[in-house]
A and B are shown apart, each in its own frame.
Chain A
Amino acid sequence: MRSSIVLVALLLPVWFLAPNAPARPDEPASPAPQPRIEFPEITFDFGSVYQNEEVTHVFTFRNAGNAPLKIESVKSTCGCTAALSEAKEIAPGAASSVKVTFRSGSYRDRVTKHVTVDSNDPTQPRVTLTMVGVVKVEVEVKPGGVYLGSSVKVGEKVERAVEITPVDVKSFKITGVTSDNPNVQVSKPQPLGDNRSGYRLTITVGPLDKPGRVNARLTVHTDLLHSREIGIPVYGKIVAGDSPERARPQ
C-alpha cells in the first residue's frame, strides 16, 4: 500500500508536464520557428524640458525568437519623430533600436507621446513605446494671440492688451518688441504694478482706409534663457462701415 501511494505521488508531475509531451497526436512534433520582439523598456520619462527643445531617446530591442524578425512600420503620434536605426529584418538573437525624438514646441505641462512598432511577431504584432515628461514655460502670455474678428471698421482704431508674466523664473526683462505689419503697432512694455511681476503690451490696430484681412506677428525679445523671442500673432478683418459686426471679446 505504501508503495502505491508513493507511485501515485511520483506520477503527479507527469500531469503538469503533459503539455510538453511530444506524443500528443493533435500537435506537431516541434513548433514552427517564430520571431519574438523584446523591448527591455517601453516607457521613457524624460523629466522636464522647456518649450522649443528636443529630447531624444533610443529604445533598444532584440529578436528573442528563432526566426527573422521583420519590422513592418514605426509610427509616431503628434510631436514625435521615430526611426528604426538599422535594417528592417533582425536575425534571431540580434538587436536593433528605435530612435525617438520629441520636440517640445509649444506644448506645456505633462505630455505623453506614443510610437508604435509593428512587426511580424505573431504573439505581439504591435508594441507601443511611450515618452512622458513635463514641458515647462518660463513666462505666460495671456492671451497667446490677438484675434479681432470682424469687429474693426474702416477708419477705426482698436486696442488690445497682452500680459506677459513669469512662471518658472522670478523676473525677466523685455529688451524690445517689433511688429512685421505697419498697421499693427505695439506700445513700450509697461510693468504690471500692484505687486505683480511682468509686463503689459498695448497693441493698436488701424486706422485702416480699406476693408481686408490684417495678419501680423509681434516679436517680444527678452533676456530669458529659453524664451529669447516670444511670438504673438494678431489677426483681424477690417470691414466697411456699414458691414454687420461679429465682435470678439477682448
Chain B
Amino acid sequence: MNCQRTQELLHGYLDGELDLAGSLEVERHMQECQSCACVYNNQTALRSAFTDSALYYPAPAKLQKRIRSSLRQANKAEAPVRALPWRWLTAGAALAFVLLIAFFIWSALPGRLGPSRDDLLAQEVVSAHVRSLMGTHLTDVASSDQHTVKPWFDGKLDFAPQVRDFSDQGYPLVGGRLEYLNNRTAAALVYQRQKHLINVLIWPSEHSADSEPELTTRQGYNLIHWTRGGMTYWAVSDLNGVELQELTRLIQEQVPPRQQSR
C-alpha cells in the first residue's frame, strides 16, 4: 500500500470504519513508514483539539418554543373540522358504505383493473425512491462501472437487466440495489444528474406489448413508466421532467423494441 492510499484510508481507520483487513494493512504500513505514522499522530491530535473545543451549537430555547407552536399551527391547518355532530357521522358512514360497494363493483368490471393497479404501483415506486434517499441504503453495489453493477445482479434476480453508465451524457451511474416491488424482486439502478438522484426500477413485464414512456407527477416527484423488450421500467426522481425524459430516451435506445412475432 502506498502513502497516498494510506493517508486516505487512515481516516477510515481513525474513525473505526475500516474492516479488519483494511485496519491491519494500515497498521502494517504505519509501522514501516514514519511519515504516515506522523500524519496519524497529527490527526489524533487534531481530533482531540476538536473534542476539547466546545464547538457544538445547541438549539436556543426560544427556537424550541417557536417550533413547537408553529407545529401546532401546521397541525391545526391539516386537521379537518373536529367535532362532527353525530347525526352527520351516521349519514357519513352510510354514504361511505355505499361508495365502498360502488367501488367494489367498479373495480370488478373488466378492464377497470389496469389504471388503479398502475396507480398503486406508482405509489410503491415513489415510496421505494423516498426510502432509498432517506435511509442509508441507496445502493447495494456502489459503482459507476456497468461491468461491476451488471454482474452483481447475477444470481440475485431471475432476469438480467441492461446496465449502462451515461456519464458522457451527464447521467453517471451511481450503483445498483435490489428492490421488492409489485410482489417480486426488482433491479434498481441509481443514476445521478447534478445533485439529483434518479432511481430506475426494472422487472420483467407481465404484458407482452411495448408501451411508450408516460410522465406523471406524484408528491412532487416525476415518474416515467414504459415497457420495452419485455421489461417494465419506472424512472423516478425530483429531477425536472425534461431531463428525466432525456435519461429515459438514453435507456430506451439501448434496448431493441420487442419483436412483433415471438
Q: Do A and B come from one complex?
A: no
Binding site for A on B (CB under 8 A): none
